[in-house]
């Protein structure tokens, strides 16, 4: 659930210039505010591809007369025009979860935007069949409230490709800021559109590699070649424009970290939904944590700091639009709590929060770069970057005569701050078993650059 408002009337339904009826804010609305909350009006226990006209008529027949009027008042702009009215209404307005399809009296009047200022939320555990519309950002009085009708598919598409999908499925053209951007003092409309389309191409390539979700070449070809103004779009079979769920690419943890981090930044820059941005930061942190755990006795401090930063970003982004006690924010906090229980991460964060990390080094070679952990003896050593590299190369890489490894081991530091840190770690962190598997420590950016050139080619 989002954050409820004391004022229950924050919107009105009225006619728009091009889109029929729409829902508009009657007051300024803050991010995270629940704008609309309502139960399902009419429901069929089948997906949109499975229900028949008979199923719709049976569901309609059990409604009260006032509920029937609410259903019939919804727009019916879907194709083809000779379909029964109930079928057209369901195709134009229905929500679904993969098992059922349903209508809402007010929520179904909310129009689409590819960069929405609100999002739909359904928590069956807490809300049952009630759905909420929650503000994604500041919404000014008089501004139209919009959601994305299919954010999972539309974030993979350029403006032209989205136009084909929306016209084919819903029968309308989209004029949102992502599809018809306004020029600014420094950037023309064409440049704005190119920037947005490039972001979406990159998002599509990243998600293809990370999750396997993609549009097959024939669907891309149709969306890119067909005119967006002709009626021939309406006759394209829906399956010819469908995305496919393939297998993810075999990626290292370092690649997954970079890809999810880039995905989060692209989604945020494009103005997409906060839930997906938050998830991207979270998954980037998880990948970096797995990478951190691959070194059996060395922990890079910058990696630990970045994991903390990413999880704090994930929580911050989601908290801005959701009540902290909702399931999703609580799950995110629980995941972060579980991460911090891992001894290596906990030891690193304890060090970074201690006085020891703020000691001014005598030289650049003395800057704390990593921790070396000896689980058997419960001893921890603070390493410089040179010392860390030497240990990694000595243990896991062949050594040439031209690149010798320093033989002299560094003595444990004796500063009081370091002594206090060691004691903190002993009392708070030593509860993890040893990890003996070694994995890649360096991030490979080449696939990201390849994805970029593929996207803009």
Give me the mean pLDDT over the 132-151 stretch. Answer: 96
Given phi > 0 = left and psi -120 to 50 = alpha, else beta, which region is 370? beta
**Lookup result for tokens 């549009």:** 215
Beta bridge partners of 379: 374
Q: Taking residues 135-143, what's their average pLDDT?
A: 97
What sign does the dihedral 59-65-67-72 (CA atoms) show?
Answer: positive
pLDDT above 50 for 87 = yes
Average pLDDT over residues 13-22: 87
| Dihedral (CA of 424, 428, 429, 432) sign | positive
Q: Whole-angstrom Cα distance, residue 101 to residue 99?
A: 7
Q: What is the pLDDT of residue 301?
A: 94
Query: What is the predicted pLDDT for the residue at 363?
Result: 57
pLDDT digits (tens, 9 = 90+) for 52-79: 899 999 999 999 999 999 999 988 765 5
* Model confidence pLDDT, tens digit, residues 241-271: 999 999 999 999 999 999 999 999 999 999 9
- Residues of the chain with pLDDT > 90, as a percent, come to 53
**pLDDT at residue 423 greater than cutoff 60:** no
The model's pLDDT over 24-38, given as tens digits with 9 standing for 90+, comes to: 999 999 999 999 999
Helices (H), 158-246: 159-169, 189-211, 217-225
Report the pLDDT value the prediction gives residue 396, as an integer from 0 to 100. 62
Q: How many angstroms separate the CA atoms of 89 and 106, rounded?
A: 14
**pLDDT band, residue 362 (cuts 50/70/90):** low
From the centroid of its chain, how far is CA 54?
Answer: 38
pLDDT band at 412; cut points 50, 70, 90: very low
Least confident of 193-202, 209-218, 390-399, 408-417: 408-417
Q: What's the CA gap between 139 and 30, in Å, rounded?
A: 7
Instruction: Report the mean per-residue pLDDT for the chain.
Output: 82
Confidence at residue 126, expressed as pLDDT on a 0 to 100 scale: 67
pLDDT in tens, 172-191: 889 999 998 877 777 888 89
Report CA torsion sign: 365, 366, 370, 373: positive
Q: Which pLDDT does position 156 carry in this prediction?
A: 96
Query: What is the structure's pLDDT at 457?
Result: 42
Is residue 350 scored above 80 in pLDDT? yes
Does 292 score more than 50 pLDDT? yes
pLDDT at residue 210 tops 80: yes
- Residue 117 reports pLDDT greater than 90: yes
Provide the residue ranges of all domains of the chain, joining segments of one domain with +: 151-250, 274-443
* Closest listed residue to residue 153, CA positions, set 112, 92, 99: 112
Per-residue model confidence (pLDDT) at position 107: 94
Kindly state the percentage of the chain with pLDDT values over 70.
79
């Amino acid at each position: 659930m989002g954050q409820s408002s004391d004022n229950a009337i924050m919107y009105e339904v009225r006619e728009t210039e091009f889109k029929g009826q729409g829902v508009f804010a009657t007051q300024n609305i803050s991010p995270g505010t629940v704008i609309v909350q309502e139960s399902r009006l009419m429901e069929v226990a089948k997906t949109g591809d499975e229900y028949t006209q008979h199923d719709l008529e049976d569901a309609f027949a059990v409604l009260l007369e006032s509920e029937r009027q609410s259903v019939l008042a919804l727009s019916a702009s879907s194709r083809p025009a000779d379909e029964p009215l109930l079928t057209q209404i369901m195709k134009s307005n229905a929500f679904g979860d993969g098992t059922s399809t349903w209508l809402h009296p007010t929520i179904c009047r909310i129009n689409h935007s590819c960069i929405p200022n609100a999002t739909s939320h359904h928590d069956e555990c807490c809300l049952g069949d009630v759905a909420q519309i929650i503000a994604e950002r500041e919404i000014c009085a008089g501004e139209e409230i919009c959601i994305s009708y299919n954010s999972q598919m539309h974030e993979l598409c350029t403006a032209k490709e989205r136009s084909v999908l929306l016209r084919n499925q819903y029968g309308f053209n989209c004029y949102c800021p992502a599809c018809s951007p306004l020029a600014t003092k420094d950037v023309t409309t064409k440049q704005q559109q190119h920037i947005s389309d490039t972001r979406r191409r990159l998002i599509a390539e990243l998600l293809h590699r990370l999750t396997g979700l993609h549009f097959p070449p024939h669907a891309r070809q149709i969306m890119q070649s067909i005119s967006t103004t002709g009626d021939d779009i309406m006759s394209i079979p829906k399956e010819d424009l469908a995305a496919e769920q393939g297998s993810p690419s075999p990626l290292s943890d370092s690649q997954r970290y970079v890809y999810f981090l880039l995905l989060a930044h692209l989604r945020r820059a494009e103005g997409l939904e906060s839930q997906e941005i938050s998830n991207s930061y979270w998954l980037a942190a998880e990948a970096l944590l797995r990478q951190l755990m691959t070194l059996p006795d060395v922990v890079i401090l910058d990696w630990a700091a970045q994991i903390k930063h990413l999880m704090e970003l994930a929580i911050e982004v989601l908290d801005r639009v959701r009540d902290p006690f909702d399931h999703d924010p609580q799950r995110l906090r629980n995941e972060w709590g579980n991460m911090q229980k891992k001894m290596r991460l906990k030891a690193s964060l304890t060090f970074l929060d201690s006085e020891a990390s703020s000691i001014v080094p005598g030289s650049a070679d003395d800057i704390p770069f990593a921790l070396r952990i000896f689980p058997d003896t419960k001893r921890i050593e603070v390493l410089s970057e040179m010392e860390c590299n030497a240990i990694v190369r000595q243990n896991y890489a062949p050594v040439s005569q031209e690149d010798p490894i320093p033989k002299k081991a560094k003595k444990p530091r004796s500063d009081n701050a370091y002594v206090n840190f060691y004691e903190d770690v002993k009392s708070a962190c030593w509860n993890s078993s040893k990890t003996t598997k070694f994995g890649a420590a360096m991030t490979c950016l080449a696939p990201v650059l390849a994805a970029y050139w593929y996207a803009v080619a």
